[in-house]
Amino acid sequence: GYLDEQFIQLEELQDDANPDFVEEIVTSYYTDSVRLIQNIDQALAKYPFDFEKLDNYMHQFKGSSSSIGAKKVVLECSQFRKYCAAGIAEGCVKTFQMIKQEHAMLRKKLETYFQMLSSAGGT
């Protein structure tokens, strides 16, 4: 599974008065996380790595990902932070590739999910 119970709790917050809540949150997440990914990419292009800065960005990224229940992304984020703490540059680079992959995959899945919801007549 790509998402954990946090996502379910978000869906429970949605109701007739706020029918697009989850989609809104997910959209905000992608705007926010794309920006963070760009920041991290830029930081990973500078040698030597500023591990503190990378860790700060990742902390934010992990936090938002956790808020939408993106559990696979979160796992990779934790790994990235471990590499930052240990100062292992190569580990950071490899893990970040994984993060971007998971992030993109989740996005596709969520887009499909929301399309399905709206074509099902939207409850």
Among 2, 23, 37, 60, binds other proteins (CB under 8 A): 60
Can you tell me the distance from the alpha carbon of 18 to that of 8, in angstroms, rounded to the nearest whole number? 15
Q: Is 50 in the site for other proteins (CB under 8 A)?
A: no
Q: Is 101 in the site for other proteins (CB under 8 A)?
A: no
Minimum CB separation of residue 90 from other proteins in Å reads 26
Q: Is 10 in the site for other proteins (CB under 8 A)?
A: yes
Per-residue H/E/C for the chain: CCECHHHHHHHHHCECCECCHHHHHHHHHHHHHHHHHHHHHHHCCCCCCCHHHHHHHHHHHHHHHHHCCEHHHHHHHHHHHHHHHHCCHHHHHHHHHHHHHHHHHHHHHHHHHHHHHHHCCCC
Please choose, out of 5-13, 41-49, 86-94, 96-104, the segment that lies near other proteins by the rule CB under 8 A. 5-13
Q: Is 63 in the site for other proteins (CB under 8 A)?
A: yes
Minimum CB separation of residue 66 from other proteins in Å reads 7
Please choose, out of 47-55, 57-65, 92-100, 101-109, the segment that lies near other proteins by the rule CB under 8 A. 57-65
Can you tell me the distance from the alpha carbon of 31 to that of 118, in angstroms, rounded to the nearest whole number? 21
Among 20, 28, 93, 109, binds other proteins (CB under 8 A): 28
Q: Is 32 in the site for other proteins (CB under 8 A)?
A: yes
